[in-house]
Amino acid sequence: MTTTETSVAHAVTRFGAAFDRRDVDEIMAAMTQDCVFESTAPPDGKRFEGHSAVRSVWEELFASSPGARFVSEELFVSGDRAIERWRYEWADGHVRGVDVFRIRDGLVAEKLSYVKG
């Protein structure tokens, strides 16, 4: 792995660890001020731009799904991009999906989510 790819893997891992702890402050500290998140809402996802909008999404997600969790299955890194395969689990079910990340200056600039379904 190149130095850039190692930095990208570290940024995604840092983001994921904060997400696992449901620590919204730390999640946002791992994202750029002009971050973008695209959700899995059908048919094409919903786009949220900037710290305030993205923070609101995480707060709502954690409040609405207290027992749910993401399990990382695999991480691929190439240049400033990463793709993470995951499984989202809740009490009586799960879905699988992927996130496409773009990292800038060691922070998540984009998190584009896609789900099987």
**Per-residue confidence at 1, pLDDT binned at 50, 70, 90?**
confident
Task: Supply the pLDDT for residue 24.
Answer: 97
Condensed to tens digits (0 to 9), the pLDDT of residues 24-57 reads 999 999 999 999 999 999 888 999 999 999 999 9
The pTM assigned to this predicted structure is 0.94
Q: Which domain holds residue 110?
A: 3-115
Burial 18-28 (b: 16+ CB within 10 A, else e): bbeebebeebb
Q: How many domains is the chain built from?
A: 1
Give the CATH number of the domain where residue 37 resides.
Answer: 3.10.450.50
Residue ranges in the chain assigned as alpha helix (H): 3-21, 24-29, 51-64
